[in-house]
Amino acid sequence: MNSVFEVSYSWNKEAIPTGGTDPVYMMVEWRYGSPAKRLRKIAPKIMSRDLELLLKPEHGAQLKAIYGCRYKETDIGWVLRLGDVYKGESKQVLLQFALGPHFSGKTAVCSAYWSTRKLKQSQRVLLRREQLYIQYTSHLGMLRQPEDPKVEKTIKLNETVPILKQALRAYERGRIEEGSNMLRRHADALLIEAARKQDLDYYTEAEMIEKLRYHYGITHTKGYANRERAALCE
């Protein structure tokens, strides 16, 4: 493996209060080599097969949710299955923690162990391991710092999947208006972010949600009406 395996960790907040907080988010990004160009004449080279990240939370830290990959909880920690990695390709996952109270200062949150499977072999090898920290403070100036914009954006875009699941359950149970309102509120919130930050990604996400709202409305309204007719005919 010629290229360097690069990893970055970004908290949504520069520091958290000494009393603890729930939730707090960390975005993990990784890549082999320099960023890939948009246009390629040849297929990118596989640099790593079956990449895995093992996370072992420290005492007082709970890993509450993982967005962006398959995962499982084991006796030794959380195993994130990240798949194959191609040269120049950037990937990311979002982690949600609940952190208990602690004294001011830099504090360990969890240990991270990156491993991969050797190309053409079944043996796994450890790529890197590190301790992840966060800053606890009672300093109001640090606590009032704005959130990391890149992490904040990832959090907001990742809210779509659970909202879609909740709305779809409402549609399937005949609560058409409830499901529609869930999707409309989320789309409106994304449009506000798009206007406030001049970011088209928010607009694209909102547009997708509105299309789904229209599709779900037609599909489930017809389905609900057909079930009602069938029930009356029995």
- 60 bridge partner residues: none
Q: At what angle do helices 149-158 and 200-233 cross, to 10 degrees?
A: 10
Query: What is the predicted pLDDT for the residue at 122?
Result: 76
For the stretch 121-139, pLDDT in tens is: 778 899 999 999 999 999 9
**Is the backbone of residue 60 left (phi > 0), alpha (psi -120 to 50) or beta?**
left
* Distance from C-alpha of 84 to C-alpha of 193, rounded to nearest angstrom: 33
CA gap 70, 72 in Å, rounded: 7
Say whether pLDDT at 1 is over 50.
no
Query: For the purposes of burial, counting CB atoms within 10 Å of the CB of 178, is it exposed (0-12), middle (13-18) or buried (19 or more)?
Result: middle
Query: What pTM value is reported for the model?
Result: 0.83
Name the residue with tokens 């030794």. 76
Distance CA 75, CA 79 (A): 10
Determine the Cα–Cα distance for residues 2 and 94; give it in Å rounded to an integer. Answer: 28
55 touches 112 (CB < 8 A): yes
- Own/partner pairs for 139-148, CB < 8 Å, 24+ apart? 139/15, 139/104, 142/14, 142/15, 143/15, 143/16, 143/17, 145/13, 145/14, 145/15, 147/12, 147/13, 148/10, 148/11, 148/12, 148/13, 148/14, 148/27
pLDDT value of position 20: 96
First-to-last alpha carbon distance for the chain, in angstroms, is 68
What CA–CA distance (Å, rounded) separates 44 from 50?
16
Asked whether the predicted pLDDT for residue 44 surpasses 70, the reply is yes
What confidence tens digit (pLDDT) does each residue in 50-75 have?
999 999 999 999 999 999 999 999 99
Average pLDDT in the 142-154 region? Answer: 93
> How does pLDDT run across 174-212, given as a tens digit for each residue?
899 999 999 999 999 999 999 999 999 999 999 999 999
3-state secondary structure of 219: helix
